[in-house]
Amino acid sequence: MYLTVKETAAYLDLPESFILEKISEGRIRAVHNGEEYMINKEQFHFHLEQIKKLKEFEREEKFEPIPESYDYKDED
């Protein structure tokens, strides 16, 4: 499925200018049909999965209890 730059920006929750910048850098693959860039949606599958895993990891870390200090004696 192909998306326009506007649709891609909405899908990734990023500004359109950022999407266009990444297209010009070659970091996002796109096809220009004479009027606008068309971007294959499937190329973002891995990126979105990694973002999902990172958010889950951050959520788990947030509620991880702080371990008690092993150095509870002041030997100075």
pLDDT, position 65: 78
* Residue 20 to residues 29, 31, 68, 71, Cα–Cα distance (Å): 11, 12, 49, 53
Average pLDDT over residues 48-71: 83
CA distance 17 to 9: 9
CA distance 11 to 56: 20
CA distance 20 to 33: 15
pLDDT, position 67: 72
Digit-coded pLDDT (tens) for 12-56: 889 999 999 999 999 999 999 999 999 999 998 888 898 899 999
pLDDT, position 15: 95
pLDDT, position 74: 60
Q: Answer for the pair 47, 39: CB distance below 8 angstroms, yes or no.
A: no
